[in-house]
Structure 1
């Protein structure tokens, strides 16, 4: 047993012995209202991850996440949800003092060039989505939104494509900066997403340096970067000053930590020791179905977070 846990449990046991029946009952009630876990980092589940344990209602799922000790939440589809639900989610997050993680800020082009093309109409479409996402961010008190620059343009040299992307991101940054919002660029691996422009963390680092704005940072998805480039901790260190957000998923399978080859306990410890205070999105599936699988996800994060 860890020394911290032993001291906490010993202190509680001593307190129980010193209390009378009424006082003991009151303390038990107070303890029952505390989160089941006190995580060292802001891990962010998504809707549907705990639907068997919490029910189908989105707000009930948020309540359950908070009860389990999770201090953040992310939702890729937030931009497409009804405004009424966005407002309810924002209120629930505020009630539980939870951080809102990323949502996808724009239409992603998975099989055709958009930002890489340099075409003005596609750039304007992207910027219009960014403007609309600012309003979404206000409703849910979000600070970050995901941007994927889209598919490569095989008719243009990679350097021209990079210049087009950088210009679009500069214009988007000018929209976001007055609101204190940050778009995080997500490199996606070649295996799951062949043909996309942004694939590697050094490439994202170079683009963020070129954009040169606090509104444009890197979304370092550990799952994608394990497949694409590996060397995870050294690449996290090399990109550190431009990383704005993390996401997780184990490999192979893109399920919860402990189901694959990535040593998440060491990665979480490293991120914690570097002083990271942001959100780590749980962008993965559950390795097992039903309530049992959902509990396994919680247990995996409790295990990997036990690094102090």
Structure 2
């Protein structure tokens, strides 16, 4: 064979090998890396600001783009009401461009936990009504459908029945504002401390039934409910018709699925079987630091989402 032909054939063979190797690497990323574009998950998980800051940078818009590229189709932002209007609008525009959904933000009027509706005090009701009106304006900018609300602390000088009635009456004032605009206030029972009034899904279910509005529903945070009551799937089923939003966090530690005791693959399969089409907010931290921790977090969701 002529030397020139031999070199040409060798070069072509080398190029073919390199192309094949590159394609194989893209299809099978290394342990510490992620594919450039991730397929959508079976369920609609929503990361939050800061969860992928090492991979995407500190800008929330860059993080949202990264979330989309990794297969996530929703985003939640507890502190949305504290962002300036221009940034809220940028977030809303980017979500619309990408076809992503806005998850919950917090109806935030300061220290909501201590501004308690259990007291029945008019000043607290007035503050609540005011922040509900403000929340509507925020929701419009990002096309949000859900907003988290916590009624506050126990008023231990009052009987529990009176406290509950005070909360119900106040929430009815809020739904009168939110319902005509289609914004759903999701009540979140919490496990953060023993002073919080709303503690269980069953208690929240009773309050929602009494308020009797499509704009007053339950945020079922699996991490908090595991800590407070356990029995996650049966309780979820009992309260199902009042649950509008779900959040995730493993226990102990409040990190991503597979890092604690909760069988999230089983829970996700149950939600899929029930036909749940809503958002599952990723309200937890990262178990490990840096980009490696973010890669591990996404892989944990891929593993837990592989229930079909």
The interval holding the TM-score normalised by the smaller chain is 0.7 to 0.9
Offset at residue 272 of structure 1 (A) = 1.0
Aligned 1:210-289 pairs, distance under 5 A = 210-289=210-289
Contact 2:48/2:283 (8 A) holds in 1 = yes
User: Which residue pairs with 1:114 in the alignment?
Assistant: 116
Q: Cα RMSD between the aligned structures?
A: 2.0
After TM superposition, the score normalised by the length of structure 1 is 0.87
Contact 1:110/1:196 (8 A) holds in 2 = no
Q: Distance in 2 between matches of 1:138 and 1:283?
A: 23
Larger Cα-atom Rg: 2
User: Which residue pairs with 2:143 in the alignment?
Assistant: 141
Offset at residue 300 of structure 1 (A) = 0.7
Size of the aligned set, in residue pairs, is 280
Q: Distance in 2 between matches of 1:111 and 1:131?
A: 19
User: Which residue pairs with 2:155 in the alignment?
Assistant: 153
Offset at residue 110 of structure 1 (A) = 6.3
Could you report, residue by residue, the CA deviation over 1:144-165 in whole angstroms, capped at 9, with x for unpaired residues? Answer: 0000000000110010000000
Q: Distance in 2 between matches of 1:110 and 1:55?
A: 31
Contact 1:113/1:153 (8 A) holds in 2 = no
After TM superposition, the score normalised by the length of structure 2 is 0.87
36-45 or 104-113, which deviates more: 104-113
Q: Distance in 2 between matches of 1:209 and 1:305?
A: 32
Contact 1:254/1:284 (8 A) holds in 2 = yes
User: Which residue pairs with 2:65 in the alignment?
Assistant: 63
Could you report, residue by residue, the CA deviation over 1:241-288 in whole angstroms, capped at 9, with x for unpaired residues? Answer: 000000010000000000000000000110111111110000000000
| Change beyond 3 A, Cα 1:56–1:40 | same
SS class of match (1:277): coil
Q: Distance in 2 between matches of 1:115 and 1:106?
A: 14
Contact 1:111/1:195 (8 A) holds in 2 = no
Task: Note the residue ranges of structure 2 that are not aligned, 5 or more in a row.
Answer: 1-19, 28-34
